[in-house]
Amino acid sequence: MSFNRKISAILHPIIYPILVSLGYFICMPRFYAYSFKVSILLIIFIGSFLIPLLFLFLFKKLGMIQSYYLHNIEERKFPLILFAFISVLMSRMLFKMQSINDLAFYFVAGALALVLSYLFLRLRKKVSIHTLGVGSIIGFLMYISYTYQLNLLWILGVLFLFFGLMARARIALKAHTFSEVILGFIIGILTQLIVPYLFQNIYS
C-alpha cells in the first residue's frame, strides 16, 4: 500500500468524532467524573463509529457502494444524508447531558457540513470528506481555545500539517481535485465556528 493510501486509511473521517471527544475531555479545564466520561465516549464510539461502519458494510454488501471511500458522486448521496441524520441524533443525545454542549455543537456542525457536501454533489462537486473532517477538528479546537482561553496552538499546528498531508494524498490518488480538498477544509472549519455562535445567540 502506498504512503498516500495509508494516510487516507489511517485518517479516515469515521475516526474523527471519537478522537475529538477524547481530546475534548483531555483539554477541558472542567472536572468530569471518570464514569461520565467513559459513558459519553462509549455512546459516541457506538453512534459515530460502529453504526456508520455497519451501514457502510451493509451498503457495500448490497452493492450500493463500491468502496468505503465513496469515490463515486452518486454513491455518496444517501450515506451523506444518513450520516448527517446520525450526527443530529448524537447531538440531541449530548444536549440532554447539558454539561457537554460543546460536543453537541460539534455534531450539529458536522451534520450541517455533511448536508452542505450533499448539496455540492447536486452541483457535481465532490467535496473531500477527509479534509472536511480535519477542518472540523481545527474549527472545533479554535472554538474551544477561544471560549475557554486555552493555548492549543501546537495542536492546531500539527493538525494543519495533517491537512497538508491529507490534501496531498487525496489529490495524488486522484480522489479529489485541489478545489474539492480546499472546499472540504473550509466547510469543516466554518461550520464548527458558526454553529456555536448561532446557538448561543438564539438561546441567550
Q: List, for residues 182-191, the tens digit of each pLDDT value.
A: 999 999 999 9
How many other C-beta atoms are found inside a 10 Å radius of the C-beta of residue 106? 31
Whole-angstrom distance, CA of residue 177 vs CA of residue 154: 29
Whole-angstrom distance, CA of residue 56 vs CA of residue 199: 31
Q: Which amino acid belongs to residue 12?
A: H
Whole-angstrom distance, CA of residue 141 vs CA of residue 120: 26
DSSP structure class, residue 100? T
Question: Is residue 167 a contact partner of residue 181, using CB atoms and an 8 Å limit?
Answer: yes
- Closest-CA residue to 195 (of 82, 116, 122, 125): 116
Of the pLDDT bands very low, low, confident and very high (cuts 50, 70, 90), residue 30 is confident
| Counted domains in the chain | 1
pLDDT digits (tens, 9 = 90+) for 93-146: 999 887 899 999 999 999 999 999 999 998 888 999 999 999 999 999 999 999
SS3 state of residue 148: helix
Its pTM stands at 0.91
Distance of CA 57 to the CA centre of its chain: 19
Query: Which pLDDT belongs to residue 118?
Result: 94
For residue 162, give every residue at least 6 positions away whose Cβ sits within 8 Å of its Cβ, in sequence order, or none: 11, 134
Q: Is the pLDDT of residue 10 over 60?
A: yes
* Structural domain range at position 14: 3-202
Of the pLDDT bands very low, low, confident and very high (cuts 50, 70, 90), residue 77 is confident
Q: Is the pLDDT of residue 69 over 80?
A: no
Q: Is the pLDDT of residue 65 over 90?
A: no
Whole-angstrom distance, CA of residue 141 vs CA of residue 151: 10
First to last CA, the chain: 51
Does residue 121 or residue 67 have the better pLDDT?
Answer: 121
